[in-house]
Structure 1
Amino acid sequence: MRRIINVLLVAVCLGMAMPAQAQLIKFGVKGGLNLAKADFNKSDLKTDNFTGFFIGPMAEVTIPVVGLGVDGSLLFSQRGIKVGDESIKENGLDIPINLKYTIGLGSMLGVYVAAGPDFYFNFSGDKKYDNLGDFNRKNAQIGINVGAGVKLLKHLQVGFNYNIPLNNSGDYSISHMTLTEPSSTSTIKNSYKMKMWQISAAYIF
């Protein structure tokens, strides 16, 4: 995974280092839905899909002749864990940087594929739930985005994306009474990763 990230970052840097006359730089706004699900390492805790949102500014650098480009966004993002009726929300700053390849299907339509690293910085503190246990979130999380979409009317982009976490999203612990000594408790510790589908729409000025 580290090699993949390094290759993508090198490609991003090469694209940005090209002469300005060979590039087309545009700015826009991007928003959409997060569909997150926590995957626990060693736990029978059953989770459902948590639905959140993201929104923020974006920039796109394209090389028109080649079809390659790079886009980056600065997004306020809400993700979380859903266990039964309990939703454990998490707010943070999401910074995806994607290498894009676009195939033009006419002057008003294009199809693209994208991939790149994703950096997430958590603003929410740790949470303790009497019936669930303690959730300690990582302040910094890194993943890889893989996605595709369409470009419409030269300004609108609609896409979907899958985020694969590379490090743990947080730690989880819960205390249980021991059967041999009812007055004492034992703590079970676990970690989890948050996998996420995203549906986005962007308007490029």
Structure 2
Amino acid sequence: MKRTIQVFVACFLLLAAQQTFAQMQLAVGIKAGPNFANIDTKASAGQNYKNRTGFHGGAFVLIKATKIGIQPEILFSQQGSKVQINSQNFESNFTYVNIPVMIKLYTVAGINIQAGPQFGFVTNAEAPIEDQLNPGSYKVADVKDKMKSSDITAALGLGWDLPFGLTIDARYNLGLSKIYDKAPSTQQTTDAKNQVFQLSLGYKLIKLGK
């Protein structure tokens, strides 16, 4: 009798595992789209920062079971802002390699709500600094040595997994950590944080499961 029960339980667990696997999806894909980036700061200098349009692109892996999915990504991302100093217009150009890890809650017809942390690593940074040869005048220069090497962001968004492997995402990334160790100039502030709105179009190159 005991052995019969053991066999029954083993068969039940095997069947449950098969059903779970049948409902799972593993996908690998690529995505890209525009960034609408700015600098978030509480200082009065914040009024001088305006949106800058950039680009992001990279790859993702989706592991989905029924209504819940987890999607780690690796993205090249152009960020920064437009900034006005002494009536002169400049652009702060920051390039990051970002690694978001998104939890996706699926509702109907592939529509999903997304949330998760994003970890960024700065690879290039240019911002306006005062020209030492011409005091009072500014120029765009390399300021990577004044930046923090990493960035932490909270990401929130909506997505839609379409037929034929297509995906559409709209995501807002709100910086949680300050981006500067030292402000590039007296006209800028060390409390600056990244904020980026992203629109993405993706495609699942490999898809296993439902």
Normalising by structure 1, we get a TM-score of 0.74
Deviation at 1:23, TM superposition (A): 3.0
Segments of 5+ residues of structure 1 without an aligned counterpart are 1-17, 177-187
Distance 1:101 1:154, change over 3 A: farther
1:101 is aligned, of 86, 99, 105, to 105
Q: How does 1:1-205 map to 2 (within 5 A)?
A: 21=21, 23-44=24-45, 46-63=48-65, 66-84=66-84, 85-105=89-109, 110-125=110-125, 127=127, 129-130=129-130, 131=137, 136-170=146-180, 171-175=182-186, 190-205=190-205
Partners in 1 of 2:189 and 2:203 — Cα distance?
44
Question: Structure 1: how far apart are the matches of 2:49 and 2:195?
Answer: 12
1:125 to partner: Cα distance: 4.8
- 1:51-105, CA deviations, whole angstroms, 9 ceiling, x for partnerless residues? 1111111110000xx3100111111111112114311111121111100011233
Change (3 A) 1:54 1:175: closer
Tell me the alpha carbon deviations over residues 28-68 of structure 1, each in whole angstroms, 9 at most, x when there is no partner. Answer: 001111111112332335111011111111110000xx310
How far has the Cα of 1:128 moved from its partner?
A: 5.4
Q: Work out which of the two has the higher radius of gyration on C-alpha atoms and give 1 or 2.
A: 2
Larger fraction in helix? 2
Residues 189, 29 of structure 1: CA spacing in aligned structure 2 closer, same or farther, 3 A cutoff?
A: closer
Aligned counterparts of 2:50 and 2:64: Cα–Cα separation in 1: 38
Question: TM-score, structure 2 length as denominator?
Answer: 0.72
State how far apart, in whole Å, the 1-side matches of 2:178 and 2:186 are: 21
1:94-152 CA distance string (max 9 Å, x none): 111100011233xxxx2110000001100125655224589522210001110002121
Would the aligned equivalents of 2:129 and 2:184 in 1 still touch at CA under 8 Å? Answer: no
5+ residue gaps in structure 2? 1-16, 131-136, 206-210
**How many aligned positions are there?**
171
The CA RMSD over aligned residues, in Å, is 2.6
